[in-house]
Structure 1
Amino acid sequence: MALEPFHIHVSEEILDDLKNRLHRVRWPDQPHNTGWDRGTERSYLQSLVSYWKDQYDWRAQEAKLNRFSQFRTRIDEIDIHFVYERGKGPNPLPLILTHGWPDSYLRYEKIIPLLTDPVSYGGRAEDAFDVIVPSVPGFGFSSRPARPGINNSRVSDIWVKLMTEELGYEKFAAAGGDIGSGVTRYLAANHPELLYGIHLTDIGIIRALMNAADESGLSEEERRYQQAATAWVAQEGGYMSIQSTRPQTLAYGLSDSPVGLASWILEKLRAWSDCNGDLRQRFTEDELLTHIMIYWVTNTVGSAAEMYYENAHTLPPLGYITVPTALALFKADILPPPREWATRHLNVTRWTSMPRGGHFTAMEEPELMAEDIRAFFRTFRTIRPAQFHG
């Protein structure tokens, strides 16, 4: 189908059903004095659910989200939802931003105006971008794939069709984190001729390095990474193990219980953000609940988990990436990569150590993120064609 304008409007039936479920929660016990060390802390979750029931206003959040220009189009039998905001500048650079899990396209909500309208935020008109933020298939308002096989590589191919065939760009920039980092790297590996450069905030868990049997060939930095990654996966990787092996089993409970879904997402937002153990330092209650609501109202927690299964079972190997690459590593993010490993596998031309911020980079530190994206892609503006269709 051609591009169709998209407007979020969740039915009253879905909202009424949610309200009923929130009033009928069966709470589990929690051992005394255990806090968050065994998972989502009950008293915190009960407080948030109380706010969800009595004060949270989805319609107000829905109206806020609908201020963005949004569209849907059908590519490879999947309906792709995306935000498309045009840049306010003499020759905006097209930029596609790919989110991860357990976030959604809302990962980039705060950064979109900083990139499209830099002058209003202390920047230069020459740094403006046309910003495209799709929902990954199976996430949010993109449709749930009916067939298996949608992994990072397949999504990168869909993004190429979106950017070139649907939006008419000849060449573009790309950025992402978490799953979005994987999709962006496959974009660069599979379609280097279409990309100016890629901007990443992580490069995922480096399994080849973590599982290297012979440590003698590793540098000291790589050995430290191997030890840290092994410990992190053992302590924090339970979610990844089940989503990579039995996502369907998990989906029944999380699709049926909004409180279960909230618990699953909140625990990761707390563990992976730069919040010092207090979610309120980084996110308002409305922000947290709107992220949870995107999964609930679209019933996509199961299909989102399927991406882990597909990436574990169907993803082709990734070779050296020749496309110019920027890495912006935020201080409290999980498992920062060894620099020498990164430079052996990617054409790293910019390396930035951010002073603060965690895994949810553009949500936590949008100004730092926007400035680094502007600085990296500034180089490529002098070598691009004067006009794009957009």
Structure 2
Amino acid sequence: MISQQLAVAAPDQVVGVHLNYLPPLPPAGGIAGLSEEDQRRLAHTKAYAANRAGYQVLHMTTPQTIAYALTDSPAGQLAWTAERFAKWTDPQSRIPDDRLLTDVMLYWLTGTAGSAARLARESTYVAQAGRPCPAPVGVAVFAHDITLSVRAVAEQRFDIRHWSEFDRGGHFAAMEVPDLFVEDVCKFFSTLA
């Protein structure tokens, strides 16, 4: 979210943007011209929005309420975070308990659950929301992410210069498959030099 907004707000200051999560965009002109695979991906995204996006809705509508609950209770913060890790990762991934607890403690000890939650709300209302991103964009799609990007749809708003697809990894790809993630970021930015 942040890197996209920086590229829209100050495109002359951004060399490129690498993304491993593209918020779902409705395809211009509907889905008629999309392949079966792309339609399956959009159906996956629609199912996520219908059945599992309560987390995002809470962050977008009542971030301060969830902030108090998470800041007040380390057990609450652990439950909230552990559920995301359990549901949004590749079933074959194993995020070590120490890594999960480190993530939880970073939010809880710093009291930043609220600002993290507000990011979703505030990004919905920024002036640049929905505007094309003029910077070169590299995308890595990980098979077990909460939504699956569709290149034909992404190209309607982004200057796609690099597109990779992986059969491993989920929403937390940098933790789940760091080797693939880092290699893809390096590969994208090496094409811009």
Common fold: TM-score over 0.5: yes
Relative CO higher for 1 or 2, CA cutoff 8 Å, sep ≥ 6? 2
Residue 350 of structure 1 and its aligned partner are, at CA, apart by 1.1
1:359 to 141, 165, 171: 171
User: What TM-score do you get using the length of structure 1 for normalisation?
Assistant: 0.46
Secondary structure in structure 2 of the residue aligned to 1:249: helix
CA distance in 1, matches of 2:136, 2:107: 34
CA distance in 2, matches of 1:316, 1:197: 17
CA contact (8 A) 2:42 2:148 kept: no
Q: Which residue of 1 aligns with 2:59?
A: 243
Residue 297 of structure 1 and its aligned partner are, at CA, apart by 0.4
Q: Relative to structure 1, is the Cα distance of residues 216 and 373 closer, same or farther in structure 2, using a 3 angstrom cutoff?
A: closer
* AA of the residue aligned to 2:20: T
CA distance in 2, matches of 1:330, 1:223: 17
1:333 aligns with 2:145: yes
1:256 aligns with 2:75: no
Q: Relative to structure 1, is the Cα distance of residues 192 and 300 closer, same or farther in structure 2, using a 3 angstrom cutoff?
A: same
1:283 aligns with 2:102: no
CA contact (8 A) 2:7 2:133 kept: yes
CA distance in 2, matches of 1:371, 1:220: 28
Residues paired across the two proteins, number: 192
Residue 230 of structure 1 and its aligned partner are, at CA, apart by 2.3
1:219 to 34, 58, 67: 34
Q: Relative to structure 1, is the Cα distance of residues 320 and 309 closer, same or farther in structure 2, using a 3 angstrom cutoff?
A: closer
CA distance in 2, matches of 1:311, 1:323: 19
Identity %: 34
CA distance in 2, matches of 1:358, 1:341: 20
CA contact (8 A) 1:329 1:353 kept: yes
CA distance in 1, matches of 2:10, 2:68: 37
2:14 to 177, 195, 199: 195
Secondary structure in structure 2 of the residue aligned to 1:323: strand
CA contact (8 A) 2:8 2:128 kept: no
Alignment of 1:1-390 (within 5 A): 182-206=1-25, 208-209=26-27, 215=30, 219-220=34-35, 223-276=39-92, 281-381=93-193
Residue 246 of structure 1 and its aligned partner are, at CA, apart by 1.2
**The structure with more radius of gyration:** 1
CA distance in 2, matches of 1:340, 1:314: 25
CA contact (8 A) 1:215 1:223 kept: no
CA contact (8 A) 1:198 1:324 kept: yes
Q: Relative to structure 1, is the Cα distance of residues 302 and 349 closer, same or farther in structure 2, using a 3 angstrom cutoff?
A: same
Superimposed CA distance per residue, residues 7-36 of structure 1 (whole angstroms, 9 cap, x where no aligned partner): xxxxxxxxxxxxxxxxxxxxxxxxxxxxxx
User: What TM-score do you get using the length of structure 2 for normalisation?
Assistant: 0.88
- CA root-mean-square deviation: 2.1
Residue 216 of structure 1 and its aligned partner are, at CA, apart by 6.5
* AA of the residue aligned to 1:219: L
Q: Which residue of 2 aligns with 1:132?
A: none
Secondary structure in structure 2 of the residue aligned to 1:325: strand
Would you tell me which structure has more helix in proportion to its own residues? 2
CA contact (8 A) 1:186 1:318 kept: no
